[in-house]
Amino acid sequence: MANPVASKILAFDVFGTVVDWHGSIAREVDAMGLGVAGSAFALAWRAGYQPAMQKVRSGELGWTRIDELHRMILDELLVRFGISGLDEAGRQHLNRVWHRLEPWPDSVEGIRRLKARYIVCTLSNGNIGLLTDMAKRAGLPWDCILSAEVFRAYKPDPAAYLGVASTFDVRPDEVMLVAAHHDDLAAARGCGLLTAYIERPLEFGAVHPKDVSPRPENTMHCSSIAALAEALGC
């Protein structure tokens, strides 16, 4: 296997790996006083994420950005949770909570350190506008924002992972995917990328801790992005 230090590009999954979607959404929903538990609403919203993207992958829907898929899921959830008092402006504001997700405490500094030696970019299913708004608000110091929107292919489609290598004109094994999700990392490895697993045990909240045990198939396993920077000598 290639030496991970020889990687040129570190491509980051974003939702859950770099930013805390559950905590951020739960806090905003609770603050809005909608009469529902913010944690339950956040979990239900995220649960609709993969099924919505699958409609695009299968051809049931044409290419549809995550902002629009999030809105489709949100409208269904408002009915399911019995929330009837939210007007269109309120729905639009709530849907854009995904643009306002807070970074994990180590993310900004860890990425900044890695940026000194590597090209650091996103590889997210989030659309470009969403990722740009998030980065601007949170101070995430990306060199480049890449999205499934660029490749018109949602992960785990190989076009997304190989698209990073193509964008920077490097071999797939010169790209390392950094993610908190083993399925994402497995798909990247299938395309020849190196992989770094980041532990995010509280991604789904304190009540639903994740198993973050190491898996030998990953190139690296780190407790945080800051720990990844340390391991890579940054």
> Does domain 21-100 match CATH 1.10.150.240?
yes
**pLDDT the model gives residue 2:** 46
pLDDT classification of 125: cutoffs 50, 70, 90:
very high
Q: What is the CA radius of gyration of the chain?
A: 18
Q: Is the pLDDT of residue 3 over 80?
A: no
Q: Which CATH class is domain 4-20+103-231?
A: alpha beta
**pLDDT the model gives residue 5:** 59
Find how far residue 71's CA is from the centre of its chain.
17
Query: Among 6, 11, 4, 32, which residue's Cα sits nearest to residue 145?
Result: 11
Q: Is the pLDDT of residue 206 over 60?
A: yes
What is the average pLDDT value for the chain, to the nearest integer?
A: 96
* Proportion of the chain above pLDDT 70, given as a percent: 97
Q: List, edge to edge, every strand of the sheet that includes 9-12.
A: 144-147, 119-124, 9-12, 175-179, 194-198, 220-222
Query: What are the pLDDT digits (tens) for 152-196?
Result: 999 999 999 999 999 999 999 999 999 999 999 999 999 999 999
For residues 141 and 175, what is the distance between their CA atoms, to the nearest angstrom? Answer: 18
**What are the angstrom distances between the C-alpha of 171 and each of 61, 162, 203?**
32, 9, 31
pLDDT classification of 85: cutoffs 50, 70, 90:
confident
**pLDDT the model gives residue 175:** 98
Q: Phi and psi of 28, rounded to 5°?
A: -65, -40
CA angle 193, 195, 200 (to 5 degrees): 145
Q: What is the mean pLDDT of residues 41-47?
A: 98
Residue ranges of the domains in the chain?
A: 4-20+103-231, 21-100
Q: Peptide bond before 156: cis, by omega within 30 degrees of 0?
A: yes
Q: What is the mean pLDDT of residues 75-85?
A: 95
